[in-house]
Structure 1
Amino acid sequence: MDWINPVVISVLVMVVLCLLRMNVILALIIAGLVAGLSAGMGFGESIQHLISGMGDNAETALSYILLGALAVSIERTGAAKLLARGVAGLVGDHRSALLLALMLMACASQNLIPVHIAFIPIIVPPLLEVMNRMQLDRRAVATSLTFGLKTPYITLPVGFGLIFHNLIREQMTANGITIATSQVAQAMWLPGLGMVAGLLFALLVSYRKKRIYQDVELPGTKIQEDAGFHARHGWTLAAAVAAFGIQLATDSLVLGAISGLLIMFFSKAVSWQELNDSIEGGIGVMGFIAIVMLVAAGYGNIIRESGGVEKLVEFIASGMGEQKVVAAFLMLVVGLLVTMGIGTSFGTIPILASIFCPLGLELGFSTLGIIALLGTAGALGDAGSPASDSTLGPTSGLNMDGQHDHIWDTCVPTFLHFNIPLIIFGVLAALFL
């Protein structure tokens, strides 16, 4: 049976294992082996594809560890505590104000100052104490951050959004449908509206109740009791600004993070020993996520080599008939399965465009409808995937004290509140635009 497909089987295995609280790294490895074996590869060939694909995320993994070290260094100087007190003074006891502030930061990280998730391990950990005092459910925070990381690039042609929209234009043009970049925004506003609906439901219904967390000293840090502002805090601020600025100038998170660490060391904001401790602390708090990114890239390589994506789409296309509603739904399900496995909407677009473009024309969808299907299918699964930046980023900040579960507190909430409305609104966009 064609549904017995390497992509379908492996993604289901990964999801089930993660929901059963198996370590995400082990779940990805097992799911990758299942994909390889289902596609007729042996264990040796599957492992070879897994390892060879890991290099695709090597820079991202190193960036995570160095950003973790920078975050620990900032915490050690006491600057993070000053930031937390400042934010606490601004938002008071208004949980909605804090959620809005974090969401806007995440939005700005995609479009205004495209640093992506780099701000999270620096900004969020010092705010955990404030969230604890508010008894703010961190699932609401994870949902707000993921919304800010994802919705802007889907809907707005600015920053990472412009890259995403240009990617859709290039891939559709390469597959016989010539469009302008501006048309992507015209097609994606409706799926974006679906994400707004999901966010409002999460904040106003699902996670309104208070949730109690314990105040825990962050690993690898030393709480500073002195509440005054000192020169080291000024240098710490300069280091953070330099890290972001150099990252923007060089398009390298690695260079940005290293620059920030060196500024803190040479300015004596941190000592030699504290710098060493910060690196160890960065590995402690971010090393897991870095390894997840490496294994996820290897898993994605197995998925691509298995040929399962093409077979899956061909099977679905053969059973669509003339029902546009069914066709649109099944096409989006393909995007969900592929992106859940690969963990990147950007990487999914080239895979799906070669099939969605001729299929959409054959089924009679409008140009805007095909854009909406391709863009939504690519974005589906980015929220909810254990291997996605959009989920790993929020977890990196919220689990700094070990009280936030990556699967049940980030992936499941974002999957339910964003992927379901994306499918609904994506189908509507395909039918009516």
Structure 2
Amino acid sequence: MSFPWAREYQPSNGFTRFLDEKLPLPRLVYNAVGAGYPVPRNLSYFWNFGVLAGFFLVLQIVTGVVLAMHYAANAQVAFATTEHIMRNVNWGWMMRYAHANGASFFFIVVYMHIFRGLFYSSYKAPREMIWLLGVVIFLLMMATAFMGYVLPWGQMSFWGAKVITGLFGAIPLIGEPIQIWLLGGFAPDNAALNRFFSLHFLLPFVIAGVVILHIWALHIPGSSNPTGVEVKSESDTVPFHPYYTAKDGFGLGVILLAYFAMVFFLPNALGHPDNYIEANPLSTPAHIVPEWYFWPFYAILRAFTVDFILPAKLWGVIAMFASILLWFFLPWLDKSPVRSGHYRPLFRKFFWFGLIPTMIVLFICGGAPAEEPYVMLSQIATAYYFLHFLVILPIISSVEKPEPLPYSITEAVLGSDKKAVLGENTTPAV
């Protein structure tokens, strides 16, 4: 983002001048997250979640590298090496709990980041590329998390791998070859474990690369804001540092309190007890479920129970992938000229009383047994989910009458007083 009032980086001594000339990393940081990056002055705590997601990505990479030093991707010893990390490696238990719960918190903040983007229509022009790269990041996260869930080689790891890779077998003609290629055989074993470990180690660095592109794309149009009104003058912005570094720091402190409470006091609350039983291909668990952050998409997968033209399993696979892929088309499905949900009364009602309850139902049904009433509830929620994005949202954007928007960000913050909006001095002379 280029504003004429943005502060220019000025090296403070000979060393920083030399570094700025030869390798301008300080200038890059200054312009990316420092005082040289002006941002809207009205950002709420909902804008903290992007920074929090970046923090948890770094945490996952660091803890993952440490764990990889002690893990063996071999079906004969994978479970034993996991227990070795927990029992014998210095601070290994903390590294593993930090990594496992870090994945959950990574998804928590990313889900909050996504829902903020949906409510404030952060996918609208000129920020379409930011949104599209964000969806790519989410897909990479899901692939990485699934492969990581397999590595402990417990009961749920093994059977989760078998069920999820088995979904590809539902694809006509090419499904079975793809499934065999993914597993390196006909069932999860050494080949699958080696492949998943390699990809699980590699993909976080791919995610980091796409995150850099995501941030780069963000800096071209600049951050969105709760009003959806674009920046018009210098009074609409403040430097990212120190205003939002302090705000993000406070948000990070709050989330870390919850995170460390989970790591030290409830480390297995978000996991499954069956994963502390070594994988046994001859003993199928009574209730196979993925990790909690996959539950809404797992509910969509299981919502299809009747063969209609195509097998029900194939319909479920198509719907599961389509439920995420349709996010790529949101910039063109929602044609409203107004971004913020605060000024879209009809959109706001369908969002809070339609989409949010639907997602809650899908989360619950995805973790519940495949029996009534959960199957019926997941079918209703799945139908509404696609209806909301493909039918309701385009209709709302065409017929809705938005509420009046503020003239500027400053007006939204300070009120409609002309002098305040223009940034003029309102203090009476003494």
TM class by shorter chain equals under 0.3
Which structure has more relative contact order (CA 8 Å, sep 6+)? It is: 1
Instruction: State which structure, 1 or 2, has the greater radius of gyration over its C-alpha atoms.
Output: 2
Bigger helix fraction = 1
